[in-house]
Amino acid sequence: MNRLKQISLYLTAGAVGALVNSLVVWAAGTTGLTAALGAKIAPTLTPPWLYQRLIWGALWGLLFFIPMKRTFNTRKNIVRRGLLVSLGPTLAQLLFFFPSTGKGWLGIQLGVIVPLLVIIFNAIWGIVAAAWIETAKG
């Protein structure tokens, strides 16, 4: 596959992963799940909120360019590959974005469970993106 097609595939996969991730985060907040777990995460599903998440998700999809051992590139290891790649946005959220927006180190000001929720929500992004890539490759 040529580079332009790869870029297109990885950007699309990242955006699809971000869409699914965003809907899961929104549903968890809307249903009160995050509040029940002690987390102050309950976003409103608005175009600006969703748009920025889709753009960031697409850009994070470019992490799939990182060379991985052959064992991570097989169809049966989609979950492992998605989990590995999801560490990038997870670390960025916990160590940069939360602190820089006043939500504390690891987002603790939103609740002590927030780091675990970020790991889970971003794992969903990574697995969906990896599955999209494998499905598109045929």
pLDDT along the chain (138 residues), means of 10: 90 98 98 98 97 97 82 71 95 97 96 98 97 89
User: In whole angstroms, what is the distance from residue 66 CA to residue 34 CA?
Assistant: 33
Q: How far apart are the first and last CA of the chain?
A: 12
3-state secondary structure (DSSP) of residue 45: coil
pLDDT of residue 92: 97
Domain ranges across the chain? 3-65+74-137
Query: What pLDDT, on the 0 to 100 scale, is given for residue 78?
Result: 86
Residue pair 32/70 in contact (Cβ under 8 Å)? The answer is: no
Which residues, 6 or more positions from 66, have their beta carbon under 8 angstroms from its beta carbon? 85
pTM of the model: 0.91
> Where on the phi/psi map is residue 53: left (φ > 0), alpha (ψ -120 to 50), or beta?
alpha
